[in-house]
Structure 1
């Protein structure tokens, strides 16, 4: 693919991906405010944005076999842990942005776990096996991720157990 088209599709993928998430967040807010039909509209269009992003991603040729995809995920999580979030945290601290510091710390701590989980999965896939993964739980406040039974309180943000979402 020629450079300008590649650049355009990558920008479109980023934009569609952000729109997808933005609309899901808007849907939660509309639901909280008692507008279920507006929430449904946001969710439906978020799905359309996901379709667009998926089409762009596949056209770019970035979708590989599971081992390659896990390697890419490990690389992304490692970059966030080792470079991106430490740099962002330093700026937020320098500028005394407490909310940003908290959000960045939550993400940084969760990304460390994600990288390790992906690494474990990649080892299994590379040996021709599916990863042995139990129930996964995610803290809905900070994104802390674990396997098995969720703790009484989140070790990152202190949220109670009922804030965890389970993935069986």
Structure 2
């Protein structure tokens, strides 16, 4: 990999993290009654997303949908088979039981994501037109409304319907 390719991927990672961090900061500002500061953080988060997408595109990492689905399955599978199990073990070894439990929730959700992507890979044009709902507590993703989260046990009120702007606002 060339130095420029490495730089593009490092910049992609940095911009992606900045986006999520600024959205978390915006939520904190909202809770503190500072809506204009929250708005500023959201504006910067949107700009960081534009940068991240451009870096990924310039690195040649966005393929056709079949390739993108395969990449997504591979990434999610790595996370639930290797990355999170190791993180769970580390957290337990350090006596960080709450973090280990949290990582376990995330691990289970990553497997759900992989399976949803596999379903899309099997018949992308025939994928049912359903709304997706995500648990605000653990990130569990469900086709259609959900009465309770099978991962963390949260009730129906913890779920939000995914729309085109949801990831900028959550």
Shared fold (TM-score greater than 0.5)?
yes
TM tier, smaller: over 0.9
Aligned residue in 1 for 2:131: 135
Q: 1:157: Cα distance to partner?
A: 1.4
4+ long deviations beyond 2 Å: none
Aligned residue in 2 for 1:73: 72
Q: 1:103: Cα distance to partner?
A: 2.1
Matched residues, number: 163
Gaps of 5+ in 1: none
2:159 maps to 1:164: yes
Tell me how large the CA RMSD over aligned residues is: 1.2
Calculate the TM-score normalised by the size of structure 1: 0.93
Q: Which has the higher contact order (CA 8 A, sep 6+)?
A: 2
Calculate the TM-score normalised by the size of structure 2: 0.92
- 1:133 and 1:94 map into 2 onto residues whose CA distance is 44
Q: 1:133: Cα distance to partner?
A: 4.1
Gaps of 5+ in 2: 164-170
